[in-house]
Chains A and B, each alone.
Chain A
Amino acid sequence: MLKNLRNYVAVFAPVVLFVAFCGYFLIQIAMGTEVKVRIQGFDPRDLLAGHYIRYSIDWNNTDCTQFPNKICPQKDFEQSYKFYVPQEMALVLEREIRDTQNQAEIVFSYQKGKNPFALQLLINGKSFKGKNARF
């Protein structure tokens, strides 16, 4: 009986932890408010989680009035982030972000003092979603 219980715990622990991680992130995203920040991008490539666009936040061109006290909370954000995109779109998006005539933004779910979650990538206000998105 005890041996069976041990086997059940051992086998289902990864499943439970996976559900817990997903649940935690979904709750954190739901609790945050959406904010839009301007970005600059460079260098797409990753081994473990597919292709991405590495970007940094352009605080000079970000609207700070959307944040509490109308101050951009630079300390709550990292120096640079990755935005994961399908492999075949990485280079296209990279070019679009580099083009100074385009306005590239990331929508974050933000809670004061917590790590923000990137939700979507906008280029000239158009949301990037999935494989068929083209600019």
Chain B
Amino acid sequence: MFKPRQLDKLVAAGIITPTQKLQILDFDNDVGHSWIYRILMILGIFTLGVGVISIVAANWQDIGDMVKLIVMLLLLLFSALGVLYYLKQNKTKVAEKWALSEFLFSGAAIGLVIQVFQLSGGKIYAPLGVWALMTFSLLFLPKQKLISYFWMPLFLTWAVMWIGDIWWDIFESFDCVLLFFAGLVALGKFLDWRKPNFSVGDVLFREALICLYLCLAFYIIAAGFDSHEGLIVLFKSFLYVGVFAVCFVKFKQYRIVRSFVKLAGLAIVMLYINFGERFGLFETGIGLMISGALLIAVLVFGPKFIRRIFKEKIHA
């Protein structure tokens, strides 16, 4: 979280001592990893799981269809009984791992059903939806954080693909996508607040927030290069960024507010690109000069303006 170089500056300025710098770095190592590390880790585990499923589903050619289905049923039953056994022994951590194996076997079972019954022609994301539905109940086990880390990306991937399939035009889906993810973020926060031991709420909040953030960033970048509908989407983006930032200020989640302020910065840059394309600022020498001056103005006055607002808030 703290970069050594930033801390060096603080040491040089006499704000913290070299000992405090080392203490902060030690604290950082204990606290854990950044969200990018966590996302990549989840993605790695998820890809590994899908790979295992793929191999299992593709290489069972030597045995009959009915035998395959019965073996899969036994594997599912075995992992389910494993969960129950360890829950009775009060070994919840081991039970959680057995539940994860049941989750992965469920995915393999869907792959097998598709293969055995030659199910095709449907939507590509349908198996993900069925997998999420089939394993939804596992989220209600006493310890469910590990399962949540697998289930939520599955559910969110299905949701993104489903939404993408409904709207062919990306800008048509703008409001619905953002409100959908904002709704999930709110639901996650609500669950976390009402039932702090139910880790699904916390995981939903974090991962839906990442989806919301990435979708908003995607729309802002796409809108910058679209001279037809881009401008409306960019203005709407400012509105959404403002509303979301105010909501998170209410909950005192200032780190998230800062992230949304960065998105506002991205929106300003994309607005500049949009205007540039619209008025031909990048095509003539004078246009380029105006364009350069505008960019410098945005970079100089934008952060000053934001800092001033924050200072006023602190003093208020």
Q: Is A11 a contact of B58 with CB atoms below 8 Å?
A: no
- Select A18's contact among B59, B109, B115, beta carbons within 8 Å: B109
Q: Is B106 a contact of A11 with CB atoms below 8 Å?
A: no
Chain A residue numbers with a CB within 8 Å of B142 are 3, 7
Chain B residue numbers with a CB within 8 Å of A84 are 114-115, 118
What 0/1 readout, one digit per residue, does chain B (97-137) give for beta carbons within 8 Å of chain A? 00100110010011111110111110000010010011111
What 0/1 readout, one digit per residue, does chain B (50-86) give for beta carbons within 8 Å of chain A? 1001100111011000000100110011001001100
Is B141 interfacial (CB-CB < 8 Å)?
yes
B13-71 residues at the A interface, CB under 8 angstroms? 50, 53-54, 57-59, 61-62, 69
Q: Is B84 a contact of A49 with CB atoms below 8 Å?
A: no
For the A-B complex, the count of residue pairs with Cβ-Cβ distances under 8 Å equals 119
Q: Is B121 a contact of A48 with CB atoms below 8 Å?
A: no
Q: Is B99 a contact of A11 with CB atoms below 8 Å?
A: yes
Is B215 interfacial (CB-CB < 8 Å)?
no
Task: Kindly provide the distance from the CB of B196 to the nearest chain A CB, expressed in whole angstroms.
Answer: 18
Q: Is A87 a contact of B59 with CB atoms below 8 Å?
A: yes
| A7-B58 CB under 8 A given contacts A18-B72, A22-B69 | no
A1-26 residues at the B interface, CB under 8 angstroms? 3, 6-15, 17-19, 21-22, 25
Per the bound structure, the CA–CA distance linking A118 and B106 in Å amounts to: 23
| A50-B141 CB under 8 A given contacts A18-B72, A22-B69, A80-B121 | no
- Grouping DSSP codes into helix (H, G, I), strand (E, B) and loop, the B interface class, with mixed when no group exceeds half, is helix
Q: Is A21 a contact of B113 with CB atoms below 8 Å?
A: yes
- Select B118's contact among A10, A21, A87, A119, beta carbons within 8 Å: A119
Q: Is B137 a contact of A81 with CB atoms below 8 Å?
A: no
Per the bound structure, the CA–CA distance linking A51 and B58 in Å amounts to: 6
Chain A residue numbers with a CB within 8 Å of B140 are 6, 9-10
Q: Is A131 a contact of B61 with CB atoms below 8 Å?
A: yes
Is B182 interfacial (CB-CB < 8 Å)?
no
**A interface residues, Cβ below 8 angstroms from B:** 3, 6-15, 17-19, 21-22, 25, 29, 47-52, 78-84, 86-87, 89, 115, 117-119, 130-131
